[in-house]
Amino acid sequence: MHTPSPENSIETVPARPWALVGFGFLALALAFSARAALGLIMPVWETEFGWSKSFMSGAGAGALLVMAIVAPFAGRLVDRMGPRFTLNLGLGVLGVGCAMVALANGKLMFALGFSIFCGMGFGIVATHAVATAVTRAFVTKPGLPTGIATSGSTGGQFLIVPLIAVLLSTVGWRWSFGALAIASVALIPCIRAIMQRPAAKGEAAAKAPSMAQDFGTILRRPAFHALFWSYLICGFTSSGAIETHLLPFAAFCGFAPLPSATAYGLLSLVNLAGMIGAGWLTDRVNRPLLLGTIYLLRAMTYIILANMPGTSIETLFLFAVLFGMVDYATVPVTASLTASHVGLPVMGQAMGMISAGHALGAASAAFFGGYIVDLTGEYALLWLGAIWLLVAAGVMSFVILRLSPAPVEQEALAA
């Protein structure tokens, strides 16, 4: 098993790498479930406190913005301090944020808890941090374990969000966020137990490149630019366009709330299989070709959306299944290409920068999608724009076919 070079990492490989996969899955499940809890509990806060939807949605947008800002620095922490320190820090901050929300009685404490502390937790306990940790533990074939670990971002919510709903209906919303705070803190000793204690590197660590130097190294890799912009489009066409606008679009088409929500739940479940399947393929097929194909297949699913008005609810379920297979499937492939073509020693920082692009793309789609609908009275322009953006993302991915892997770790991670 490969051990990161001492001049670029101060943490050793986890003692039980598959345990890291499992706890990475749980950590992401907690973080993404805390994000989902905002929408679940909004109606309760509106009734209890009289808070407006715009205020609560603004708190969610603020958390996404903080997440985008924090992501590159969180990636840097993985590179320099190791996944053990980084994940534990993120879980601790997330726990504090959830506790603040659970105790909040006013807008200020709620906004500080969710937008600032939870937002920082979301940026640290994120797919890029878990993907980097797993890739370093499984250098030769990281695709499948990365796909399994990062699938906690979607599939893990099926384990936790229903529990949050049960707590909400039985003991109240405070215990919903309180349980998330307790679970986040409880996972910290588990992460500590499966990771070896960082070994002091002394002079080698002191000579490690600065963040600015690594930033320059990353920007000099042509593959980074293809991965960054394609992943920004990924965020626009997944977290932004679909997670924000699919259910309102279903209502626009005349579909009832319950079957629409069921279709969305099916999409998230299929997402789990899509991420694991993409991870398995990452270890076995040409990765730039795989990534480009995923984007083009996603573009084809948007054609279904563009023609959905006037069709039956079964069409929405068809879209949910097909889109779910290629939604988060980009994560393990992008992580593997970042390791090989940008460089494993700077993978954390590079993935953090790429993930920040994803968050910015998502925020853009959430905002401009609503603006377009208000302006035109329909969603057609949003779906058509997504199709052409995804075609561009596919082309950018295919460009990586002509690029050589990064000099560092080239033999271990060559395409």
pLDDT band at 248 (very low <50, low <70, confident <90, very high): confident
Output the six-digit token pair for 93. Answer: 């901050």
SS (H, E, C) 185-249: HHHHHHHHHHCCCCCCCCHHHHCCCCHHHHHHHHHCCHHHHHHHHHHHHHHHHHHHHHHHHHHHH
Average pLDDT on 386-394 reads 97
Tell me the C-alpha distance between 21 and 345, whole Å.
20
Q: Which long-range contacts (CB under 8 A, 24 or more apart) does 3-7 make?
A: 4/136, 4/344, 4/345, 5/345, 5/408, 6/201, 6/204, 6/205, 7/201, 7/204, 7/205, 7/207, 7/208
**How high is the pLDDT of residue 156?**
66
The residue that leads in pLDDT, 188 or 366, is: 188
Nearest alpha-carbon partner for 332 in 267, 414, 274 = 274
Name the residue among 35, 56, 147 with its Cα closest to residue 104: 56
CB-neighbour burial class of residue 106 (10 A; exposed 0-12, middle 13-18, buried 19+): exposed
Which one-letter amino acid corresponds to residue 240? G
Residue (of 117, 67, 86) closest to 355 by Cα position: 67
Q: How many CA atoms does the CB half-sphere of 27 hold within 13 Å?
A: 38
83 vs 10, residue with greater confidence: 83
Give tens-digit pLDDT for 95-115: 999 999 999 999 999 999 999
CATH 1.20.1250.20 residue ranges in the chain? 17-197, 211-404
If one looks up domain 17-197 in CATH, what number appears? Answer: 1.20.1250.20
Report yes or no: 259 and 313 within 8 Å, Cβ to Cβ: yes
Place 269 in a pLDDT band, splitting at 50, 70 and 90: confident
- Look up tokens 């039956």; give the residue: 312
Neighbours of 5 (CB within 10 A): 12
Predicted confidence (pLDDT) per residue in 310-361, tens digit: 788 999 999 999 999 999 999 999 999 999 999 888 898 999 999 999 988 8
What's the average model confidence in pLDDT over 173-180?
A: 92
Mean pLDDT computed over 46-58: 81
| More confidently predicted of 228 and 18 | 228
Q: Which of 1-5, 72-76, 83-87, 169-173 has the lowest mean pLDDT?
A: 1-5
Distance separating alpha carbons of residues 294 and 299, to the nearest angstrom? 9
**What CATH fold (topology level) applies to the domain 211-404?**
Growth Hormone; Chain: A; (1.20.1250)
The number of angstroms, rounded, from the C-alpha of 19 to the middle of its chain's C-alpha atoms is 20
Q: What is the mean pLDDT of residues 196-220?
A: 69
